[in-house]
């Protein structure tokens, strides 16, 4: 199977001399759900800009489904749908017109464009708003409108640059469900996000970019296996004692009914439960304190700086 | 893209452009009709009646072709400059840039949008002018060709302005400080015969002189400049403007980072 995206030694130096990308290379397989993470200014949006032709690269090679963008950008563009970080549609145009016009720019005949627009506006819950000028839509609706617009030519590769930024939790979950569905139907998805929970929940592979370089490129499972330590919150049935001690573990009392326990790699959480039971402390629920990927991300980014 | 797909993309841009200026017709079509009516009343009827004949025609008949051409020039220019700069300003130009639409189709789409507005306003102004004077067309061929060439040239000029503009002030500087003086000094209101030789020769550097006189020839059959020279100059400026516009699009200057 040919890769959906291949980037080789890609670099970008802006006019003011800022080196946004320092020869990065990565590959995204067909059908993958791929996360691109990194702090602000790391080079994620520059990479996406180059892939979809909004940014001119300084050096390197980009191929989309083995079509080199330097040789046949028009063919490569047909494979790509892009949802940018900022709203980039005419605020005075109606939602339906925005989607239909985008289909037209890809050469889809008017009737087919109208069919597709209806399909994706319905799928994203915007059909009722089709005749509303886009400036009247809420932030979440505008994001979904950009997704509908990006999908109208049914690209094989969908690139989303922070699609859930500023979107409420319920809307975010429904967008996740939608993205999972189209990924299951065969669309390769590349996602940049600041919500590491989002990457962990959705994606199978990940690249972490920092200061224009890729500091990690692997599967999320492999990455998480390398975690040295996890922190769990334990909710107690009765009020917890002021101090709790378990040999080999760091335990903190957060409030009257919650404890925080650090479990190092190689240790077992069962040991904690056994010891707490012996001390008469009964637990009725448990959860991760912080997003696990977030911890790994901070380690990698801080380690690189 | 296949030719059929390119045609669809082209028509999408043209349709969008026409829809845009029709949606805001009070800002795009009405002002020209009102302004030209005022010109007809003031210069044609009130002042013109005291001026008498010019170039063998009543002053009203003499100024009508120039005023129609003035409407075509300003509208084809301002349609493209405001629309394309607007799409740059709100980043919606990215919708086109990420698509496989070839650059020449993008340019043609915007230019044809500008031409259509220029021609629509020309029709409106011509209808208004019929309330003030009688018009007969000397050469339909010259009229049609010169209107198409002129609106194409100024639509392209508007596109170049839009690419270079950084803010909304920049899209009014050229129309205010360049286009308007050139139009007023381009023989809309007077015949070149009235100028001393020196200023008549200087005026020949003004492209609007060729545009206005060629159109006046098409309507009235008189011109201060030779018709082939006028067509040649307009064609030359149009080719240069097209090549430069394509260069801007292909290089991505001020459009891509």
Residue of A nearest to B15 (CA): A101
- What CATH architecture is A5-224? 3-Layer(aba) Sandwich (3.40)
The secondary structure element, H or E, covering residue A207 is strand A205-210
Chain A residues whose CB is inside 8 A of the B96 CB are 105
Residue of B nearest to A100 (CA): B12
How many Cβ atoms are within 10 Å of A228's Cβ, its own excluded? 10
Give whole-number Cα distances, A249 to A151, A173, A268, in Å.
50, 35, 10
Residue A171 pLDDT: 82
- Tell me which of B92, B106, B110, B251 to substitute to probe the interface with A (most A C-beta atoms closer than 10 Å): B92
Cα–Cα distance between A73 and A75 in angstroms, integer?
Answer: 5
Distance from the first to the final alpha carbon of chain B: 24
Q: Write the class of the CATH domain A229-304.
A: alpha beta
Cα–Cα distance between A280 and A283 in angstroms, integer?
Answer: 10
Q: How far is B236 from chain A, CA to nearest CA, in Å?
A: 31
Residue B248 pLDDT: 93
Cα–Cα distance between B240 and B190 in angstroms, integer?
Answer: 29
Residue-wise pLDDT tens digits, A66-101: 999 888 888 999 999 999 988 999 999 999 999 999
B128 contacts B33 by C-beta, under 8 angstroms: yes
List b or e across A107-137, with b for residues whose CB sees 16 or more CB atoms inside 10 angstroms.
bbeeeebeebbbbbbebbebbebbeeebeeb
Among candidates A54, A82, A88 on the partner chain, residue whose Cβ is nearest the Cβ of B92 = A88
Residue B189 pLDDT: 82
Q: How far is A206 from chain B, CA to nearest CA, in Å?
A: 24
Chain B residues whose CB is inside 8 A of the A56 CB are 252, 256-257
Cα–Cα distance between B92 and B103 in angstroms, integer?
Answer: 16
Domain ranges of chain A: 5-224, 229-304
DSSP A241: P
Residue B149 pLDDT: 94
Residue B191 pLDDT: 80
Q: In which residue ranges of chain B is pLDDT below 50? A: none
How many Cβ atoms are within 10 Å of B257's Cβ, its own excluded? 15
Query: Which of A211, A189, A220 has its CA nearest to residue A294?
Result: A220
CB–CB contact B94 A108 (8 Å): no
Chain A residues within 8 Å of chain B (Cβ atoms):
14, 49, 52-56, 73-75, 77-78, 80, 82, 84, 86-92, 97-98, 101-102, 104-110, 149
Q: In which residue ranges of chain A is pLDDT below 70? A: 227-228, 289-296, 298-305
Stated length of chain B:
257
**What average pLDDT is seen over chain B?**
89
């Amino acid at each position: 199977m040919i890769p959906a995206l291949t980037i080789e030694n890609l670099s970008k130096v802006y006019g003011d001399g800022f080196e946004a990308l320092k020869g990065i290379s990565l590959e995204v397989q067909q059908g993958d759900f791929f996360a691109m993470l990194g702090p602000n200014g790391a080079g994620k949006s520059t990479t996406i800009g180059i892939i979809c032709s909004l940014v001119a690269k300084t050096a390197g090679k980009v191929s989309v489904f083995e079509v080199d963008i330097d040789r046949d950008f028009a063919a490569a563009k047909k494979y790509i749908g892009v949802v940018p970080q900022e709203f980039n549609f005419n605020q005075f145009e109606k939602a339906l017109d925005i989607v239909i016009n985008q289909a037209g720019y890809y050469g889809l005949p008017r009737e087919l464009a109208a069919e597709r627009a209806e399909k994706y506006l319905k799928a994203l819950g915007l059909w009722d708003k089709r005749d509303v000028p886009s400036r009247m839509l809420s932030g979440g609706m505008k994001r979904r409108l950009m997704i509908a617009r990006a999908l109208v030519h049914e690209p094989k590769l969908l690139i989303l640059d922070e699609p859930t930024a500023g979107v409420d939790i319920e809307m975010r979950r429904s967008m996740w469900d939608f993205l999972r569905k189209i990924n299951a139907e065969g669309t390769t998805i590349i996602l940049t996000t600041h919500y590491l929970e989002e990457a962990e929940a959705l994606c199978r592979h990940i690249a972490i970019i920092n200061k224009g370089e890729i500091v990690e490129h692997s599967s999320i499972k492999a990455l998480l296996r390398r975690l040295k330590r996890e922190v769990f919150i334990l909710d107690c049935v009765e009020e917890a004692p002021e101090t709790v001690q378990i040999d080999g573990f760091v335990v903190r009392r957060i409030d009257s009914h919650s404890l925080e326990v650090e479990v190092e790699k190689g240790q077992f959480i069962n040991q904690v439960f056994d010891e707490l039971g012996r001390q008469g402390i009964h637990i009725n629920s448990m959860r991760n304190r912080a997003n696990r990927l977030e911890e790994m991300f901070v380690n990698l980014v801080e380690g690189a700086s | 893209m296949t030719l059929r797909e390119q045609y669809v993309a082209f028509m999408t841009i043209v349709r969008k452009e026409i829809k845009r200026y029709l949606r805001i017709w009070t800002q795009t079509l009405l002002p020209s009709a009102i302004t030209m009516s005022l010109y007809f009343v003031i210069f044609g009827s009130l002042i013109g009646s005291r001026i008498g004949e010019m170039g063998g025609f009543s002053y009203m008949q003499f100024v009508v072709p120039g005023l129609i051409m003035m409407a075509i020039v300003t509208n084809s220019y301002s349609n493209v400059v405001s629309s394309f700069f607007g799409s740059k300003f709100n980043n919606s130009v990215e919708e086109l840039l990420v698509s496989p639409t070839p650059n020449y189709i993008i340019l043609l789409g915007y230019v044809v949008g500008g031409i259509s507005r220029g021609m629509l306003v020309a029709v409106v102004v011509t209808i208004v002018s019929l309330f003030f004077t009688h018009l007969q067309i000397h050469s339909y061929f010259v009229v049609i060709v010169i209107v198409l060439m002129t609106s194409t040239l100024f639509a392209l000029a508007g596109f170049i302005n839009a690419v270079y503009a950084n803010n909304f002030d920049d899209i009014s500087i050229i129309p205010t400080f360049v286009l308007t003086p050139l139009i007023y000094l381009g023989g809309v209101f007077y015949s070149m015969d009235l100028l001393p030789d020196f200023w008549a020769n200087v005026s020949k550097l003004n492209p609007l002189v060729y545009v206005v006189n060629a159109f006046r020839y098409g309507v009235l059959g008189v011109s201060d400049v030779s018709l082939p020279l006028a067509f040649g100059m307009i064609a030359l400026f149009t080719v240069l403007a097209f090549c430069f516009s394509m260069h801007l699009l292909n290089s991505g200057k001020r459009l891509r980072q």
